[in-house]
Amino acid sequence: MKKVFKKVCITNDVGGTEYLPEGRYEVEIEEEWDDYETGIHYKGKLVRKTAINRARKAGTTGYKLEHYASRYGSESEIAKSAAKAAKEFDPATVYASEFDEIK
């Protein structure tokens, strides 16, 4: 199922959250869940290449994994978490809320 949202967010290349600029994002929904306090949330894949490129640009932080290793130690949880995020970085995967859906 596809839905269109005005706002979506991604997990960046070091594990943080990045919100993409407000726009029109077509998303192929993969998962949805209802949080009784904050409503329905979605996880899915961006459909359009231009949106994926925008997400890639927003989600590429420029931080190097060596930064985390030298500052916190290569065996620290933050260094391991950043390495995992870098390996799994997928700018097409987005998260959205029912309140940002364009109907």
pLDDT at 65 over 90: no
In a domain, 66, yes or no: no
pLDDT at 22 over 90: yes
In a domain, 8, yes or no: yes
Percentage, residues of the chain above pLDDT 70: 100
In a domain, 77, yes or no: no
In a domain, 54, yes or no: yes
Residue 73 backbone class (left: φ over 0; alpha: ψ -120 to 50; beta: rest): left
pLDDT at 98 over 90: yes
Tokens representing residue 60 in the block: 């590429």
Output the pLDDT for position 30: 98
Give the residue, 65 or 6, on which the prediction is more confident. Answer: 6
Mean pLDDT of the region 78-89: 94
How many other CB atoms sit within 10 Å of the CB of residue 64?
12
SS (H, E, C) 76-102: CHHHHHHHHHHHHCCCCEEEEEHHHEE
pLDDT at 69 over 90: no
Of the pLDDT bands very low, low, confident and very high (cuts 50, 70, 90), residue 99 is: very high
pLDDT at 1 over 90: yes
Global pTM reads: 0.89
In a domain, 95, yes or no: yes
Mean pLDDT of the region 72-77: 90
The count of domains in the chain is 1
